[in-house]
Chain A
Amino acid sequence: QVQLVESGGGVVQSGRSLRLSCAASGFTFRSYGMHWVRQAPGKGLEWVALIWYDGSNKYYADSVKGRFTISRDNSKNTLYLQMNSLRAEDTAVYYCATEHPTGTLESWGHGTLVTVSS
């Protein structure tokens, strides 16, 4: 079955960088668009970014545009989120999710917690 395992979270100082990974298995990774979604402590879900199945198109929320970069390595079945210039408001659990069909986040990982300290 579909398995998505996020990693790379932790405590980081404001202004620093962090890279999250999402290891995928149980499905044909190269055929699916992939999302990152985050959830601040006690808050709702916030969409962060989407990358097409082949990496040809990428979309970002305004709150992260210019600071975060989504990418993927289909040979490694892995999705990434490079997060630069981190701010306290980026503190959240970050989930990866598959896109299928359009606009639907079909399967989710269990998330990785990022804490940005000042």
Chain B
Amino acid sequence: QSALTQPASVSGSPGQSITISCTGTSSDFGSYNLVSWYQQHPGKAPKLMIYEGSKRPSGVSNRFSGSKSGNTASLTISGLQAEDEADYYCCSYAGSSTFVVFGGGTKLTVL
């Protein structure tokens, strides 16, 4: 079970936009678009931000958006705010044997 590949860190200034990539193999993603993204602040539990590739749960800011092209999923955060500084993890449904695989995580720093 290989982890999905994310950049270790990204940074941006308040008000800017950033994109975090999440790359896997065709077996990681399958033929589905069941990619989800999680935000985790230090010492806290992860929080669902995006599911099924591009859907936002109720209460999540529309500054967060998701997309997928081929074997790469992306999370874009627009209008960066200080409170967006956190770790972000992608996750994909990978079929009935592996079921779920996570990315290694990306630390977002708001400069």
Enumerate chain A interface residues (CB-CB to B < 8 A).
35, 37, 44-47, 50, 59, 61-62, 95, 101-111
Q: Are B46 and A109 in contact (CB under 8 A)?
A: no
- Would B46 and A108 count as touching, CB distance under 8 A? yes
* Shortest distance between the CB of A57 and any CB in chain B (Å): 8
Q: Which residue of A lies closest to B97 (CB)?
A: A59
Asked whether B57 is an interface residue with its Cβ less than 8 Å from the other chain, the reply is yes
Question: Are A102 and B93 in contact, with the CB atoms below 8 A?
Answer: yes
Interface size class of B (residues with CB under 8 A): 20 to 34
A50 to B94, CA, bound (A): 13
Binding site for A on B (CB under 8 A): 1, 3, 32, 34, 36, 38, 40, 44-48, 51-52, 57, 87, 89, 91-94, 96-105
Residue of B nearest to A61 (CB): B1
Q: What residues of A have a CB within 8 angstroms of the CB of B34 in the complex?
A: 101-104
* Pairwise interchain contact A105-B99, C-beta atoms closer than 8 A: no
Chain B residue with the shortest CB-CB distance to A46: B102
Write out the residue numbers on chain A whose beta carbons fall within 8 Å of the beta carbon of B87: 44
Min CB distance B34 to A, Å, is: 4
Neighbouring B residues of A45 by C-beta, 8 Å: 38, 40, 46, 89, 91, 102, 105
Contact B45 A101 (CB under 8 A): no
Grouping DSSP codes into helix (H, G, I), strand (E, B) and loop, the A interface class, with mixed when no group exceeds half, is strand
**Minimum distance in angstroms from B38 CB to a CB of chain A:** 7
Taking A44-B87, A102-B93 as given, write out 9 further A-B residue pairs in contact, using a Cβ cutoff of 8 Å, ordered by the A residue number: A35-B100, A44-B103, A44-B105, A47-B101, A50-B100, A61-B1, A103-B91, A103-B94, A106-B48
How many Å from the CB of A100 to the closest CB on chain B? Answer: 9
A105 and B46 within 8 A (CB):
yes
- Give bound CA distance, A101 to B45, whole Å: 19
Q: Which residues of A contact B1 (CB under 8 A)?
A: 61-62
**Cβ contacts under 8 Å, A35 to chain B:** 100
In the assembled complex, how far is the CB of residue A104 from the closest CB belonging to chain B, in whole angstroms? 4
On chain A, the residues within 8 Å of B44 by CB distance are 110
